[in-house]
Amino acid sequence: MRLLVLPGDGIGPEITAAALPVLGAASEAYGFALEVREEPVGHSSLQRYGITVRPELLQMARDADGLILGPAATFDFRDPEKGEINPSAFFRKSLDLFANIRPARTWPALPQKLGAFDLVVVRENTEGFYADRNMERGNAELLVTEDVVVSLRRVTRKACARIARVAFGLAARRRKHVTAVHKANVLKIGDGMFLDECRACQRDFPQVALDEVIVDAAMAHLVRKAERFDVIVTTNMYGDIISDMTAEASGSLGLGGSLNAGENYAMAQASHGSAPDIAGRNLANPFSLILSAAQLLSWHGRRRNEAGCVAAAAGIERAVENAIAEGEITRDIGGRLGTKETGDALAERIRRELQR
């Protein structure tokens, strides 16, 4: 498997450096070849090349079997004319990574803030209120006068239909239940179209139940009884908010895996930001990026019928659960290890499983 790895900003290089030995150990343990190409992106690229994302990186990503993107300092990158391109938005849009898949589950050894749950948020990734990715050219947030801003939201039938299909396909392999989260009581046309496409898709998956919940009620249900949910499908902004909340409820945002997938390409990306306040201090939890990389292995393995990659993904998640139980973890979830040591311990745990 050929991976393009872009470490990013802040804690990105640290958690990437912790994740790569884990992937190396998994490739040995589960019998697949791994080739890694690492390139700068974000501030390091801006300093070296005058641009945060070099144009040639897009072709490198297309030529690879998967892309791993570390957190980027996206708030710093405001002017594309000065080379300040948001790396995440660039690859999501350029590779048409329309599905953001964010599992969230509780871990037996950690406090369960909302009770035990195991769910996946499937978030549309290319339109909605996101001003940097829903226009072909320009920006969808407009300063009409000094005191008036208009933010445009784009919703298309195609995007609604394909994100619904991803959610139902995933639910068919899980507990066969999809919840469509919306605000169609207010956004009658846009969210109404989204619901229409979810209902149409359900006809192709009669074994999967569908229910529809207004977004504010969904948040209340998540707090009260998160175990009721299996696969949540929703539009871009709702999904961004819900998935951060469910990741934190699982124990820490540092445990939230995230895969951005399209028809032909996929990108693993930690669900959190670049955390510049702890960068360089060996404090960051690398599990979010590691679990994201495991999702990428599973995506690739299912597409190419490579059982080793699929097994490795499950093995990494199992090793993370065991590492948490043994306390081989960072401080944010009750451990004493640093970022590097947590990654090294997890890689060693996977190697020990190989020897059994």
Q: Which of 230, 1, 233, 248 is nearest to 99 (CA)?
A: 233
For the stretch 161-197, what's the b/e string if a residue is b when 16 or more beta carbons lie within 10 angstroms of its beta carbon? bbbbbbbbebbeeeeebbbbbbbbeebeebbebbbeb
Q: Which of 230, 249, 268 is the last residue of a domain?
A: 249
List, in sequence order, every beta strand (DSSP E) within the chain.
2-6, 35-38, 66-69, 99-105, 118-124, 141-145, 148-151, 177-182, 209-214, 231-234, 259-261, 266-269
Q: Which of 216, 209, 227 is nearest to 191 (CA)?
A: 216
Examine the domain organization and report whether 126 and 234 are in the same domain: yes
State the pLDDT at residue 140: 83
Catalytic annotation on 216? yes
Examine the domain organization and report whether 215 and 297 are in the same domain: no
**Number of structural domains in the chain:** 2
Examine the domain organization and report whether 232 and 117 are in the same domain: yes
Catalytic annotation on 130? yes
State the pLDDT at residue 355: 63
Q: Is residue 103 part of a domain?
A: no
Q: Give 40-57 pLDDT, tens digit per residue.
A: 999 999 999 999 999 999
Which position among 183, 191, 238, 265 bears the catalytic label?
183
Name the residue range of residue 269's domain.
Answer: 1-98+257-356
State the pLDDT at residue 253: 87
Instruction: Please give the model's pTM, rounded to 2 decimal places.
Output: 0.93
Catalytic annotation on 76? no
Examine the domain organization and report whether 50 and 90 are in the same domain: yes
State the pLDDT at residue 356: 59
Q: Is residue 307 part of a domain?
A: yes
Could you tell me which residues come within 8 angstroms of residue 154 by beta carbon, excluding any fewer than 6 positions away?
Answer: 127, 128, 134, 135, 140
3-state SS assignment for residue 266: strand
Q: Give 308-352 pLDDT, tens digit per residue.
A: 999 999 999 999 999 999 999 999 999 999 999 999 999 999 998
Examine the domain organization and report whether 166 and 269 are in the same domain: no
Catalytic annotation on 240? yes
Examine the domain organization and report whether 323 and 242 are in the same domain: no
Ranges under pLDDT 50 in the chain: none
User: In the beta sheet, which residues pair with residue 151?
Assistant: 141
What CATH number is associated with residue 226?
3.40.718.10
